Amino acid sequence: MYMHDGERYLVVDAQVHAWDGSAANQAGPAGEQFVADLHHRHRVLDRKPRPLPADEFERVGERALVADVFGYGHVDRAVLQPLGLGELFVLGFSPSAWHAELAEPLGGRLVVTGELDPGADRSVSRGLTAWVRRDSLRGFALVSARRPETRMALAESWMRRALARGEQAGAGVVHIGVGPVAHPPPGAPAWAHAGVPDRPARPAGRARWPSWAEPVRAGSALPVRARNARPLPAGGFDATELRVLAAALPRVRFVLGSGCLPTGVLCRLARLSNVNVLLTDVLVAMRTHAGEAGPALDAMLAAFGPGRLLFGSGYPLVRPQRLVGEAVAALRERGLEPGDVQAVMGANAAGLYRIPVPGALVHGGQAARAR
């Protein structure tokens, strides 16, 4: 719970991550560069009380997540977002199979989502219904399972059928453009960079591992492709393909990252009633680029209303301790009533992910959506 001006807000963080980017799991220089870029972004965006040291940031597990999110972060429930990146990490960066094990002892405080790669072949959808039921998945993240810069094609017919089966099995929420990115996708609004300059690639001759580890990195069965890895941009997707997919699956609820598309393009998708927006990127940018991110938040509120916007911190890139308070204050400054603020901070996500919370909070979110 979070208290503000005498009001109590139940907080559901719709974007948190647990990952293993440690040196033992990196499959090559690209994996090292990806983690270093993420840590660079963290140090710029989350400086108080102090940024996490590199060794703590590289591997974020149950203990750190529980302390930072549920302990100090005012968060009551959270949604784990997966990201495999099989070409960069030996055992995967943030695989959903690990998330299921992580969530089990926490008594329902973590909601688990699965991972689907639109660029893969249709064989990845085999056994999808059994997977949803076995791990109690509430949704899927559409992400590249191999490399972050891969552009996603959303027009595949097998993907449409797979998402429909997932919704029937109980995983009816689909995340697109939601995940830990060191560099926003091409075409993202300028404020999505949040003033974080690119971290330069490691100069030649300063690789972390010695030359005898070439061409196969010690501890990895994957070949090293390049010694001097360049920063990896995030992938993107075609908004037209998304519009067609969302219109074809009206019972599926799509959750888009607020920085994954230009703000005008994103707001036009509000015409589809099953499209929602996760505010992580714009809330983080409010710290450093309020002059640009503020109008973007205003536009999203006008287009989607408080009933289709969700709070997310992006932990561990940004810890929720301060972001929760900043988000509530920003929404109240824009004239939102406490019930509408509660909808954004937790009730909307509770309704989407079927999270059991006090009935008054869920009804408040439904009322906000109706308006």
Burial state string for 258-281 with b = 16 or more CB within 10 A and e = fewer than 16: bbbbbbeebbebbeeebbbbbbbb
Question: Cα separation of 39 and 95, whole Å?
Answer: 19
Q: What is the pLDDT along the chain (371 residues), one digit of tens a residue?
A: 787 778 889 999 999 999 999 998 998 888 888 899 899 989 988 877 789 899 899 999 889 999 999 988 899 999 999 998 888 898 889 988 888 888 888 878 899 999 998 888 788 788 899 999 998 999 999 988 788 877 888 888 889 999 999 999 999 999 998 988 877 777 788 878 776 777 655 544 444 555 544 444 444 555 444 444 566 667 788 899 999 999 999 999 999 999 988 999 999 999 999 999 999 999 999 887 888 899 999 999 999 999 999 999 999 999 999 999 999 999 999 999 999 999 999 999 999 999 987 665 554 555 555 45
Cα torsion through 233, 118, 187, 271, rounded to 10: -150
Q: Is the dihedral of CA 154, 158, 161, 166 positive or negative?
A: negative
Q: Is residue 21 within 8 Å of residue 38, measured between CB atoms?
A: yes
Instruction: Read off the amino acid at residue 253.
Output: R
Question: Cα separation of 70 and 103, whole Å?
Answer: 13
Question: Cα separation of 41 and 39, whole Å?
Answer: 5
**pTM exceeds 0.85 for this model:** yes
Q: Is residue 282 within 8 Å of residue 320, measured between CB atoms?
A: no
For residue 75, give the nearest of 113, 103, 45, 109 by alpha carbon: 109
